[in-house]
Amino acid sequence: FDCQTRKDDRPFHLGGAPVQYIHVWKAGGSTIQAFMKSLARKLKLPYEMGNDMCKGVVAAKFQPALRKGHVYVGHRPILWCSSRQGTRPFNIISLREPISAIRSLYNYKATFYGKASPGVLKGVEELRAIESRMRTQGIPTKKMLEHALDQPLVWNIATNFIQLKWLLPRGCPVGVAPDISQNSSKRALSVALKNLIAVDVVVMTESVDRDLITQLSFHAPGLAPKMLMPAATNAAKRPKQQLSGAAIAKIFGGRASFKGIDLDTYLYDLGKRIAKVRSDHAGRCRVAGGTRCSRRCVVNVTKTELELLHMPWPDARCNARMR
């Protein structure tokens, strides 16, 4: 796949390629988003944040292309909410191992305070009531997720959290939901994997420092090494949720193949390999001073991944590189 430097497109410069950090829930996003905001402020670049997954945005055909020199962040899918593409955006994404993300999401919801939709707030209240009952039974905080898996609300948290949706551009007519067919889920996974390969900076939460700084340095020389990574913004408020092997098996077994957590496992497994290949390639090119730096990278894939990557695009609007 193409992994040549984007330095000639001048990301993080006025008039350069627009930058989008795709903020996937519970994947180290608050820390990286703070880093993006800090860079934009220091470089005096326009900075825009959107956290609505494009809800309420006017019809896709009226959405403008991302603007040059702007930095976009927040909970919006790849290409923001745009239906058009002028200058090719410089995209950054972070991903997290699915079970770890579910543990984090549960604690986030259980300790949430702030503004949200009535539906979200109702769910938070219900979860607090569930935890209150567990406390009276002597269940420790770190085991509450496992003990509450039979509750519909908690089961929904554990099985409906899907990271790949952030790689489905707005207007792409595929999606993932509990009641859709296996073929539809496979099409969504295929789109997500192909768009993931085209993302310029791929970061794993367990190796943020290596992936983010190394890859940014490659695409924006002289920028990332001079600016320190901000401290993590989400300090742990509660003990990490502990899940037994049986509970994890139950979560995976709660879905047919190519649904829910299975989809994210495919995404994470390939993403982890892509992140390492991109970081290693960027590191080698930096050591070589840019000479003999290959324009292509190679990642080993499984037979199933190869089949998914070779599936045709279901619609031109799904291809984040061609819009």
Question: What sign does the CA torsion over 101, 273, 222, 24 have?
Answer: negative
Say what the pLDDT of residue 65 is. 77
Taking alpha carbons only, the member of 218, 186, 174 closest to residue 77 is 174
Distances in Å between the alpha carbon of 15 and those of 33, 57, 129, 223, 224? 21, 26, 52, 16, 19
Q: How many CB atoms sit inside 10 A of residue 24's CB?
A: 26
Distances in Å between the alpha carbon of 79 and those of 28, 88, 220? 20, 10, 20
Taking alpha carbons only, the member of 29, 43, 89, 97 closest to residue 243 is 97
pLDDT of the chain, 323 residues: tens digit per residue:
999 999 999 999 999 999 999 999 888 888 899 889 989 998 999 999 887 667 655 544 446 678 999 999 998 899 988 766 677 899 999 999 999 999 999 999 999 888 888 888 899 999 999 999 999 999 999 999 999 999 999 998 888 888 999 999 988 888 776 545 677 888 999 999 999 999 999 999 999 888 998 999 899 987 755 565 655 555 557 899 999 999 998 888 754 555 678 889 999 999 999 999 999 999 999 876 666 788 899 999 999 999 999 999 999 989 998 65
pTM, to two decimals: 0.90
